[in-house]
Structure 1
């Protein structure tokens, strides 16, 4: 929104700065990313009161998100939930995540130029993390002098192997942007250019050596190829190259190979007795005891050690005691199990409705920058894929990356809806850009 008034103009500048700094701080300096998210959430409310208006609050996805937040907050009230005042406070503060995404969609990224800057920053972060992984694979140390993790896996720019999860989300829109460029500029060589990009993306994820991010990347590439016809041959080429890349990882990064193949095979063959199977069992046992309101924010962390839940499930091949206290971690490692244990079946239904509303709003219909929008849609799709282990929904940095990509995708989708269709009527190639 254009304005010349001092306060709205100052808010707009602060909001834009926070938006563009957010991906940099999510990559490094986590505490600053928290501050940028808070600035955007509070800034949206202030800017709405200073002329922007409150129309964004009537968007379907925002309404459902507020219902989900409100129900989870109710379930976290001391006496209803088990986490006390701290859990209730955390539940109330969780609203900053959807508010941040709404701020990007309806305020700071409404104009084309900031969206272009954000696209460049996201691609830059993707390339930076990929470069750090590649350097560590070749030389044994990343650019900061940090060696491989003790188990042999690669850590990218970090001290621990946590680069693969955000990279699996960032790779999809970055890859699609590269494929769109190849479709327009490479001519007859577009197949080779796209194939090189797709194989390179898969190769980086193989080197990263994390099972779930690797699987989600493959799922995301398949979804992108389904929605973007020019990329389909390149996706097949990447699929054909995958076994070769895994075998090469066995030579150049044995730790990555061990995680991707050997450990994955063992856990899938004995899922019920694996740590993931034990967490799954404990979450369902807890949810069965509190099916309506759950146990409040951070329910798994607060309730996992209760001996009442130390048993298995009759229909599941789990440990007799469900793993006891040894399985207890900070969260349920799945967003849907997290919603269920935090806020019961109503909370799970609201969470599913919110995800569906996100995907409906992100759907990449025809128009400008469709390939980029397909990549953003795929990133959120795989982030909320239900059959996967995941970090806490509202934990940084991965939760921040997800809501940042959500906000960017919503802003791109909104820009297409605001553009008259006639502007694209004489550009039949726009569906592939």
Structure 2
């Protein structure tokens, strides 16, 4: 056996192993984040080895990837200037997420069958999440014996209220895709069943009791009605049923109503004095003080208690007067764009916005061009994930980044498959949806 044959054998088997691990990744995202992080790292390294030994560097030099590498470089530079050696090492390690997404796009999800296997895995993870939420709602505890959180939120399979964000990510590509396909069938019974499933999914998100995931899913339903014309009426009816569920929430789940409605109205009415308002103003003061490069990875967490950043922008002075310094502090700014701005400055924010716009454009064009529904579902998911007016978890923690970059890579792989099949004139696969 020649050296070339040995390499080809190793490369092929490495790809098979990486794909199997990728299929199991959604489950480890829910339970076993350290393993999930190792899977992401393994897939990224395997892809780089494949690219190096096959001399396929072009995919790393075009599209969104150079912008992402520019952002990463700025984060590393800013962390070098403002952080510790440990912070610097953490900032360097962030590259794994971008490489992971690129690996899914260019290498790992290179067939419809592989994308369908990943889709099935995401669906099963979503079913598990929903089953645990309803078990906790109906019987008081989940499978692990954990009750509702102290504010009334359903925790699903977790100890803390963390069911909303992953269910939001899974909602459209993993769950809504099935009733959407059923809606396009001619049988009235299937259409009615699809409406019931959509309403059930939306009601589940409402009774979980986490405000931002519920709002973003409603936003996703709105985008779904705009983008996929053939499912517009059932989606609108399901959305109306969601509002009915919200109106009945004082009877269905009083704790969820208190958090989802009463507390939300109170926060919005006095937003500048709320914890979120104070955190956002603290982040903006940091950007005002370090506009070019920010304060590095984890810089917000490390420096938010410094009095330098309490006052900075004159227009905010009267809003923060008399507030405790701790009111504006947290482990992250609770908004992806503010997180990037505090981490890598306005230069990094510009590169990040360019990267997101390329992702959105690529998936939007694929959604318009494809007869399949999955590109539309993934485009809607990315719109929810990167919607600028949202309170979010930290982008670069594994709990968030694993889902985000999995969806980015999967969506770009779908777009690549759509454009590839179009160029060869072979159609767009087995999907039955029409836009």
Q: Scaled by the length of structure 1, what TM-score is found?
A: 0.93
Structure 1 pair 114/272, CA: closer, same or farther in 2 (3 Å)? same
- Higher mean displacement: 146-155 or 33-42: 146-155
Count of residue pairs brought into register by the alignment = 428
Matches within 5 A, 1:392-407: 392-407=394-409
**Pairing partner for 1:379 from 378, 381, 384:** 381
Q: Please state if 1:265 is matched with 2:265.
A: yes
**Paired residues of 1:18 and 1:36 also in contact (CA < 8 A):** yes
Q: Is the 8 A contact 1:296 1:341 kept in 2?
A: yes
Aligned residues of 1:278 and 1:323 also touching (Cα < 8 A): no
**Contact kept? 1:367, 1:424, Cα under 8 Å:** no
Structure-2 change in CA distance of 1:59 and 1:380 (3 Å): same
Distance 1:96 1:321, change over 3 A: farther
Runs of 4+ aligned structure 1 residues displaced above 6 Å come to: none
1:391 and 1:25 map into 2 onto residues whose CA distance is: 18
C-alpha deviations, 1:41-95, integer Å up to 9, x for none? 1111011123272232133111111111112211111xx22x2212211111111
CA contact (8 A) 1:132 1:156 kept: yes
Distance 1:152 1:219 in 2: 23
**Aligned residue in 2 for 1:141:** 141
Residue 68 in structure 1 maps to residue 75 in structure 2: no
Find the counterpart in structure 1 of residue 245 from structure 2.
Answer: 245
Q: CA deviation at 1:270?
A: 0.4
- Tell me the equivalent position of 1:307: 307
Query: Scaled by the length of structure 2, what TM-score is found?
Result: 0.93
Determine helix, strand or coil for the equivalent of 1:156. Answer: coil
- Aligned equivalent of 1:48, options 51, 65, 68: 51
Cα contact 2:305–2:329 (8 A) shared by 1: yes
User: Is the CA contact (8 Å cut-off) linking 2:184 and 2:432 kept in structure 1?
Assistant: no
After superposition, the Cα gap between the structure-2 partners of 1:162 and 1:3, relative to the gap in structure 1 and judged at 3 Å, is: farther
Q: Aligned runs of 1:31-180 on 2, under 5 Å?
A: 31-51=34-54, 53-77=56-80, 80-81=81-82, 83-180=83-180
CA distance in 1, matches of 2:335, 2:175: 26
Moved more, 309-318 or 242-251: 309-318
Instruction: Describe the SS at the equivalent of 1:5.
Output: helix
Q: What is aligned with 1:354?
A: 355
1:14 matched to 2:1: no
Matched, 1:333 2:307: no
3-state secondary structure, aligned to 1:158: coil
Gap runs ≥5 in structure 1: none
